[in-house]
Structure 1
Amino acid sequence: MDDSTLFLGANISASPIGPQAAAGDEEEHNVSLRSFIAIAEHHAPYAIFINKYVTPIWYVIGLTGNVISAFFWSSQRIRTCNTAAVYLTSLAVADFSYLALHIFYELEHPWLIHTLNVHGWCQLWNVLYMAATYFCVLLVCAFTCERFLSVCHPFKSERFGRTRSPRIILVLLLASIILGSPQAYFWQVTLGECKVRESEVVPESFYTIWNWCTDMLIFGALPALVLVLNICVLRKIRSAGRLRLSDSPVSQSGYTRVVGSTTKRGGSKTNGPGGGVGGGGEGVRSVKGGTTIPSSHTNSVNGTTTSTSGGSHNFTATTVTLLWVSFYLIFTTLPVTIVYAIQTAIPLGRPMPLEDMGKDPAWQTYISYYAARVIIREIGMSHHVGNVFIYLATSRRFRRQLSKLCSRRGWASTGDGHTETTNFHSMHPLQSRKISCR
């Protein structure tokens, strides 16, 4: 096809973050992907440059970082001392899977190397890619909900026991696969390219309705919900005055007195995280009535006897980690969702020679939109890459273990030199099992 005259006459109809782009957003113009790349390279070369050379950097950082993160959070000692570990392990695996699958998309667009034009693999890839994308968001939403219950409604959080987390994750995985399964019907190999079947590339088709509804739910409503829950957690933390946005050890002295939902430590009033009521029972004594317990005593938390200092510090550090991970997801996902949601309001120009497109107002608007979309999409993709840096910034144990790994000492089982327990859930005063997280 002669690239000097390109007949493009339809709007792009793509998922906010979905695999529809993988077979090529631009293939839905009823024109070859090669032709659209020619347009972009001529009128927005910087967008193609970013698309070609930033994404491989994400692969190197993300694949390596997620392997390290999964290895760390899945270690036995971390899983024993930190109930968030099972979620963070699953998130690292999901992000790794997403990036591995995304390589096939990158080879298709913009490198024009066909990797999805095999019947069966075209459909399977789209299902797996979409499921991995959904799963990442659902995991963040799940541990955000549990942290919200732990901080704001600790007694209700007891129903989410440590043993329930793997089952919740399994349910989320199955839900992701179910939500992604219609992609097997939508996609097929046509003329050597993996693209949406022609019967579905029409307004109000099942393809359009399904992708719009599921993507707005997963990439719009759920991040908004996570934002609201995080704000509630931060408000509770602020009123309690117990959490600092760092992982420095929390000084514990004096005594703890719990009256209803109010904790007094050394005469200062506190509420919420880290406290028996506000913090889900992590690293602090929770005693109904007006019982005073010296801080030198140990407390029983879901069957684990820990020191107050270690448990409270670890609750603080883990809460900070989870807040940063969820906020990072919000601020990288919502802009991408908005950009793709408005694409139908930006029409393509009429068919014309390639050189004339730069002078046509409609084409200028669309090309500017395309360039902005590429940049925002690359930034949005970073939430599958950057969690390892959040762990480095907020977890002293993670930094220590990574330092040992880099010094070829391996992943040691020793921790921060103090006993620590992280738990989403309220203290059970009848259970007492000694577990050292040193």
Structure 2
Amino acid sequence: MEITALFTTARTDIGAHDNASPLFTLSKATESTNVTDGKKCLNTMYIYESSALFQKYSLPYITAVGIPGNILSFLVWVRPHMLNSSGVYLAALAIDHLSYLVLYSIYNLEMRWGVRLLSFPGLCEIFTVLYYFFQYMDPLLVSAFSVERYISIYHPFKRIKYCTKKKATIFTLVLGVFSALLSAIQGYFWYYEENTCFIRSEVLIGGQGSVWQVWAIITELLSFFIVPMFVLLLNIRLLRYISNKQGQNYCGSEKQHTAKKSSAHTTLLLYVSYYFILTTLPVSVIYLLQLYFLSEQDCTVHLLYTSKIIIETIEKTHFALNFFIYFTTGAMFREETKLLLKINRVQPADVYIIP
């Protein structure tokens, strides 16, 4: 999640005009104004420029892998044997990641490759709203299926009441409305002028206490720090509960088999949520650090930029690699993928239905 010379988001490359935005950007204008000249910074500047090139050429590969991967993930999760309550959230997550990667590819072409796609009246505002919307949906969907799995394991008698496809669908729509409300204000923050997308000067008045900066910090902390921390604490408690239950004997092979299926699906979801946490939290930390170093005028800024670029590039992978997590950790997902691709024509038995 970034912000730069064409745009600027609280966490993404979309960034404000370099003279208007209080945030760090990756633009050449920002490089020249935020860092003092001098031979002492040549080494750190070289490292920074190398990391920027790494990001520029690695992002197309990430999107090239992620777009078909998310399409496949969606097609598998909506298959009858997979579409339970968790499947609803994971199918929605695949659509969310697919949409984000498509938008990010468009942004990347404009910002890093000079292909003019967004600098038109109306597209500036629409693009920023959609771009933020899919970012906000990501942590909310991860938290949704984490809570759903927590209820299924920790309160199994409430699972039938709360963990249904209908309730998951309704809750996903509610999360969509909430994300839309959070992102709608970006349509006001941003406007098109002189072939560029700018943040309105009136929302930047006050510097660190401006409307833009306060809103950016609040939404950043809420969506990309507090929610991931909540998911992390939930997963830690869930893992402790599962470890305490290991070795417990079940009465009857059917109950034992059901427990194994549920445990396998829980493992898949834990891998997805932990990868989300590991790639998302560092971006929030570096974002908060950049506020502290905002006024620095030495080589420290280069190093912060470099760290920011590398961390954000790694963070992008969680939008692209979920299919591989599903495929390597979920036996049911593998079987359904083979069926979808006509690799394995044996119909899955009812054992694949996840409780």
TM-score for the superposition, normalised by structure 1: 0.70
- Partner secondary structure for residue 84 of structure 1: helix
Counterparts of 1:390 and 1:413, CA distance in 2: 23
The counterpart of 1:144, out of the listed 143, 146, 154, is 146
Q: Report how far residue 396 of structure 1 moved.
A: 1.4
Q: Show the counterpart of 1:394.
A: 329
Counterparts of 1:27 and 1:378, CA distance in 2: 25
Range with bigger deviation, 153-162 or 115-124? 153-162
Q: Report how far residue 346 of structure 1 moved.
A: 1.4
- Partner secondary structure for residue 422 of structure 1: coil
Q: Show the counterpart of 2:82.
A: 78
- Partner secondary structure for residue 82 of structure 2: helix
Q: Normalized per residue, which structure has more helix?
A: 2
The AA in structure 2 aligned to 1:17 is: R
The AA in structure 2 aligned to 1:35 is: A
Q: Show the counterpart of 2:55.
A: 51
Deviations 1:233-256 (A, max 9, x none): 0010011115xxxxxxxxxxxxxx
The structure with the larger Rg is 1
Q: Report how far residue 414 of structure 1 moved.
A: 2.0
Deviations 1:142-162 (A, max 9, x none): 111111122222334443141
- Is residue 421 from structure 1 mapped to residue 353 from structure 2 by the alignment? yes
Q: Show the counterpart of 1:225.
A: 230
Q: Show the counterpart of 1:22.
A: 14
Asked if the contact 1:37/1:110 (under 8 Å) is kept, the reply is no
| Change in CA separation of 1:28 and 1:110 when aligned onto 2, cut-off 3 Å | farther
Counterparts of 2:19 and 2:114, CA distance in 1: 12
The AA in structure 2 aligned to 1:125 is: F
Q: Show the counterpart of 2:259.
A: 312
TM-score for the superposition, normalised by structure 2: 0.85
The AA in structure 2 aligned to 1:379 is: I
The AA in structure 2 aligned to 1:74 is: V
- Is residue 381 from structure 1 mapped to residue 316 from structure 2 by the alignment? yes
The AA in structure 2 aligned to 1:192 is: N
Structure 1: 5+ residue runs without aligned partners?
1-12, 243-262, 266-292, 297-306, 350-361, 424-438
Counterparts of 1:32 and 1:401, CA distance in 2: 42
Counterparts of 2:17 and 2:58, CA distance in 1: 19
Range with bigger deviation, 102-111 or 121-130? 102-111
The counterpart of 1:97, out of the listed 92, 96, 99, is 99
Deviations 1:114-172 (A, max 9, x none): 32222211111111111101111100001111111222223344431412110000101
Q: Show the counterpart of 1:188.
A: 191
The AA in structure 1 aligned to 2:161 is: R
The AA in structure 2 aligned to 1:223 is: P
Higher relative contact order structure (alpha carbons within 8 Å, sequence separation ≥ 6) = 2
Asked if the contact 1:16/1:337 (under 8 Å) is kept, the reply is no
| Change in CA separation of 1:35 and 1:16 when aligned onto 2, cut-off 3 Å | closer
Asked if the contact 1:122/1:188 (under 8 Å) is kept, the reply is yes
Q: Report how far residue 363 of structure 1 moved.
A: 3.7
The counterpart of 1:175, out of the listed 165, 178, 202, is 178
Q: CA RMSD in A?
A: 2.7
- Is residue 201 from structure 1 mapped to residue 204 from structure 2 by the alignment? yes
Counterparts of 1:126 and 1:370, CA distance in 2: 23
Q: Report how far residue 311 of structure 1 moved.
A: 2.5
The AA in structure 2 aligned to 1:75 is: R
Q: Show the counterpart of 2:38.
A: none
Structure 2: 5+ residue runs without aligned partners?
1-6, 36-41
Alignment coverage as a number of residue pairs:
334
Counterparts of 1:27 and 1:103, CA distance in 2: 25
The AA in structure 2 aligned to 1:174 is: V
Counterparts of 1:216 and 1:103, CA distance in 2: 25
